[in-house]
Amino acid sequence: MAPVTQALPLACLLLLGSAPGADAQAGQGFQLQQPQMISVMAGETLTLSCTVTAGGPIGPMKWLKGWGSGNETVYDQKDPSSSRGTRIVSDSSTDFTILIMDVRPEDAGTYYCVKFRKTPTGDELYRRGEGTVVVVQARPSNPTVSGPSDRVEPGKTASFTCNSWGFFPSDIRVKWFKDKTLIQSQLPNVTPEPSNFTYSLSSTVTVTLQKDDIRSELTCQVLHTTLTAPLTRSYRLSQVLRVPPKVVMAEPPGPVGLNERVSFTCYVQGFYPGSVTVTWLENGKEMNTGSTPQPTETPEGLFELRSTVAVQAMPEKNGSVFTCRVLHEGQDPLSRNATLWVAASGQKESSSPYTNGANAQVVHVFELHQPQKEVSVRVGETLFLICTVTEGGPIGPVNWLKGLGSGNETVYDQKYLSSSRGTRAVGVSNTDFTILIRDVRPEDAGTYYCVKFCKTPTGDDELYRRGEGTVVVVLAVQGFHLLSSPGLWLCMLLEKAILGLVLFFLFKRWQA
């Protein structure tokens, strides 16, 4: 009968061989040394050192990951070709240091350098080291930032999430920036990955979007002990921002003459993104006006466009309603209407006193239309001021004035374009004198007038007709009204001056 020990599995022999009595008698003079702990980065090469003294029994050396029944052999001297570990000095009888290339996070654990001795029944445990704890540090992946699936309008909140994974240890920090300014975020959520050797990160920040965020971006910054510099990922807010357009329609200033050709102009202002569709309808029926004009980008990063439809003032079109319908980003359409009135004789009465001389014929048909009673615009945006006139007016320029009387300011002069702050929306037109003023400032608040001048026999320009005026209110970025009257500013200054005088008088009395 074979000895009982031959039937025992290797695991049992290992446990028996580790008994204190066996090691005490067989291990006299034999030493085995290995380090206690090693830290290595994932992807690098792990060096496991093990040295023994000469004079040990005949038998192989092995490297085991873990101890007990669940251990894994990473190096076997008897079968080195099948081992993941590679010896540095292959022909040494005392140095059994091995290399493990391209370390992975799952390689973390405790490694034992083990000496076996050959017996008639096979290899049995002779001596093992105390174990080397291997810590595999893993760098976090490059972060990703995701935003809402649908676009968000200014004034509403949107949540953005930063994700990173595959890192160890679990200690990690996240910072959020909006245009290089640190902003508050929720506490990051760090969870173990399925492998249980690495971790993943999720961090969320909530931002209230503004109209001027088109050029802004969020940045997620990840900091970890394995990094020499933070990892960052940026997200442009224009990817989720939707600024709805303002739609203003310019119509003829009054009844037009029979068979005259008249234009309706639709101004689509301050929208983002730049995809928009403009459709014209006559009495609810779609007109064939061709494709929508291409929008132009403003300095603020918004878009604007102008669409015009021309019709002939025939008797059957009297009272027809023309509609400009704007569709932006799949939202509900915005519509503006205008009615065409056709004068039976092609002329109409005028209340103008200029009824003599060369202008007598045109006074009856000339009209100036300034439809906007009040316009609100934010600081930094573009201001549109609409003015249309009929053809047939006297010779002379059309200007835009801020204020009336001796203190007025010319913001657009048809004769001196280069010195004008206002810019014509329609470069070449005898009837549309709509202007735009870019990068509005608080001091632009006031009342603006579209004014038609006529040239007198002496060559001077004389007031011929003016609009009723458009009151412009300038809003601060946060949304509150700035003072729209210079008089209010003066009152504030006077109030502060009076308060200063009172305080000065009281101080003098106290000294006396």
395-441 pLDDT tens trace: 889 999 999 888 899 999 988 877 788 988 877 788 889 998 989 99
Q: Pick 1 or 79 by higher pLDDT.
A: 79
* Residue 447 reports pLDDT greater than 90: yes
pLDDT of residue 364: 42
* Residue 343 reports pLDDT greater than 60: yes
The DSSP element (H or E) to which 301 belongs, if any, is: none
Segment 352-393, tens digit of pLDDT: 333 333 333 333 467 888 989 999 988 988 898 999 888 777
Query: Residue 260: inside a domain, yes or no?
Result: yes
Q: Are residues 124 and 8 in the same domain?
A: yes
* Residue 108 reports pLDDT greater than 90: yes
* Residue 22 reports pLDDT greater than 90: no
> Which pTM does this prediction carry?
0.64
pLDDT of residue 11: 40
Q: Are residues 365 and 436 in the same domain?
A: yes
Tokens linked to 397: 């320029």
Neighbours of 109 (CB within 10 A): 17
Q: Pick 26 or 191 by higher pLDDT.
A: 191
* Residue 206 reports pLDDT greater than 90: yes
* Residue 5 reports pLDDT greater than 50: no
Q: Are residues 20 and 130 in the same domain?
A: yes
- pLDDT band of residue 137 (cuts 50, 70, 90) is very high
pLDDT of residue 256: 83
Q: CA-based Rg of the chain, rounded to a whole angstrom?
A: 43
Q: Are residues 296 and 328 in the same domain?
A: yes
Q: How many structural domains does the chain have?
A: 4
Q: What is the DSSP string of 83-143?
A: -SSEESSTT-SSB--EEE-S--GGG-EEEEEEEEEEETTEEEEEEE---EEEEEEBPPPPP
Half-sphere exposure in the Cβ direction for 343 (13 Å, CA): 17
Q: Are residues 117 and 9 in the same domain?
A: yes
- pLDDT band of residue 502 (cuts 50, 70, 90) is low
Domain of 110, CATH number, reads 2.60.40.10
Q: Average pLDDT of the chain?
A: 84
d(CA 343, CA 262): 13
Q: Are residues 208 and 130 in the same domain?
A: no
- pLDDT band of residue 217 (cuts 50, 70, 90) is very high
The DSSP element (H or E) to which 280 belongs, if any, is: strand 276-282
Measured CA to CA in angstroms, residue 105 lies from 17, 109, 169, 196, 480 at distances of: 32, 10, 10, 9, 56
d(CA 216, CA 197): 38
pLDDT of residue 407: 84
The burial of 280, by beta-carbon neighbours within 10 Å (0-12 exposed, 13-18 middle, 19 or more buried), is given as buried
Q: Are residues 152 and 110 in the same domain?
A: no
Contact between residue 193 and residue 175 where contact means Cβ atoms under 8 Å apart: no
Measured CA to CA in angstroms, residue 74 lies from 101, 104, 153, 379, 430 at distances of: 12, 14, 59, 70, 89
pLDDT of residue 358: 35
Q: Are residues 335 and 366 in the same domain?
A: no
Please name the residues in contact with 105: beta carbons below 8 A apart, sequence gap of 6 or more. Answer: 42, 136, 138, 166, 168, 195, 197, 198
Segment 486-501, tens digit of pLDDT: 554 455 566 667 777 7
d(CA 471, CA 374): 5
The domain boundary residue, chosen from 214, 239, 264:
239
d(CA 511, CA 14): 101
Strand order in the sheet with 303-312: 246-250, 261-271, 303-312, 296-297
Mean pLDDT score, 307-326? 92
Cα 159 to its chain centre, rounded Å, is 12
Q: What is the DSSP string of 305-347?
A: EEEEEEEE--GGGTT-EEEEEEEETTSPPEEEEEE--B-SSS-
Segment 150-200, tens digit of pLDDT: 999 999 999 999 999 999 999 999 999 999 999 999 999 999 999 889 999
Q: Domain range holding 179? A: 144-239
Tokens linked to 287: 């007109």
